[in-house]
Amino acid sequence: MDSELFQFSAQRRKRAAFCEVLNLDIRKNLVHEPSKGFDCFTPSRTMQQFKEECDVNNIIENYTHSGILPAGDGSQPVFGDFTKIPQSYGDMVAMIQESRDHFMELPSDVRRKFNDDPVELMKFIQDENNVDEARKLGLIAQPAEAKE
- Asked whether residue 22 is domain-assigned, the answer is no
CA–CA separation, 136 and 148 (whole Å): 25
Residue 106: which of 95, 126, 122 has the closest Cα?
A: 122
Q: DSSP per residue over 83-142, as a string?
A: TTS-SSHHHHHHHHHHHHHHHHTS-HHHHHHTTT-HHHHHHHHH-GGGHHHHHHTTSSPP
Domain total for the chain? 1
- Asked whether residue 119 is domain-assigned, the answer is yes
Give every CB contact of residue 88 below 8 A, 6+ residues apart in sequence: none
The one-digit pLDDT tens for each residue of the chain (148 residues) are: 455 545 556 666 676 665 565 555 555 555 556 666 777 777 888 888 988 888 899 989 988 988 887 777 667 778 888 888 888 999 999 999 998 999 999 999 999 999 999 889 989 988 989 888 988 888 888 877 645 4
What does the pLDDT read at residue 146? 47
What does the pLDDT read at residue 12? 67
- Asked whether residue 124 is domain-assigned, the answer is yes
- Asked whether residue 17 is domain-assigned, the answer is no
What does the pLDDT read at residue 101? 92
What does the pLDDT read at residue 97? 92
What does the pLDDT read at residue 57? 92
Residue 134: which of 145, 121, 146 has the closest Cα?
A: 121
- Asked whether residue 93 is domain-assigned, the answer is yes
- Asked whether residue 74 is domain-assigned, the answer is no
Q: Which domain holds residue 100?
A: 89-136
On the 0-12 / 13-18 / 19+ scale of CB atoms within 10 A, 36 is exposed
| Contact present, 54 and 48 (Cβ < 8 Å) | no
What does the pLDDT read at residue 21? 56
Give the angle subtended at the CA of 111 by the CAs of 136 and 117, to the nearest 5°.
Answer: 125
| Contact present, 17 and 27 (Cβ < 8 Å) | no
- Asked whether residue 38 is domain-assigned, the answer is no
CA distances to 11, 55, 86, 97 from 82, in Å: 66, 29, 9, 20
